[in-house]
Amino acid sequence: MRGSIWDNSIMNLSDFHFELPEELIGQQAIEPRDSCRLLVVNRSNQSLTHHIFRDLIDLLDDRCVLVLNDTKVFPARLFGTKETGGKIEILLLKQTSTDTFECLVRGKTKDDQKINFDVSFFGTLHHVVISTDLPASKAGVEKSHSITFNLSGLDLIAKINELGKTPLPPYIHSDSKEAELREQYQTVYAREKGSAAAPTAGLHFTPEILNRLQNKGVQIEKLTLHVGLGTFKPVTEEQVATKTLHAESFTLSQDVAKRLNIAKKSGKRIIAVGTTSCRVLETLSDESGNLSGGAGETNIFIQPGYRFKFIDGMITNFHLPSTSLLMLVSALVSFPNSPASPAGGPIHFTNFYDSLMDQAYAEAIKNKYKFFSFGDAMLIV
Q: Total structural domains in the chain?
A: 2
Q: Which of 165, 199, 220 is the last residue of a domain?
A: 165
Q: Which of 135, 165, 195 is the last residue of a domain?
A: 165
Same structural domain, 100 and 229? no
Residue 352 lies in a domain: yes
Sign of CA dihedral 367, 372, 378, 381: positive
Same structural domain, 295 and 315? yes
Alpha helices by DSSP H, 68-186: 153-163, 178-184
Same structural domain, 141 and 194? no
Residue 6 lies in a domain: no
Q: Compute the distance between CA of residue 262 and CA of residue 311 in angstroms, rounded to an integer.
A: 14
Give the pLDDT of the chain (381 residues) as one tens digit per residue: 334 444 345 678 888 999 999 999 999 999 999 999 999 999 999 999 999 999 999 999 999 999 999 999 999 999 999 999 999 999 999 999 999 999 999 888 889 999 999 999 999 999 876 544 444 334 444 458 999 999 999 999 999 999 999 999 989 999 899 999 999 999 999 999 999 999 999 999 999 999 999 999 999 999 999 998 666 667 888 888 888 888 899 999 999 999 999 999 999 999 999 999 999 999 999 999 999 999 999 999 999 999 999 999 999 999 999 999 999 999 999 989 987 555 555 667 877 888 999 999 999 999 999 999 999 999 999
Got the DSSP string for 103-123?
EEEES---TTEEEEEETTEEE
Same structural domain, 69 and 195? yes
Domain that holds residue 119: 77-165
107: left (phi over 0), alpha (psi -120 to 50) or beta: left
Same structural domain, 218 and 160? no
User: 100 — phi, psi (to 5°)?
Assistant: -130, 140
CATH of the domain at 99: 2.40.10.240
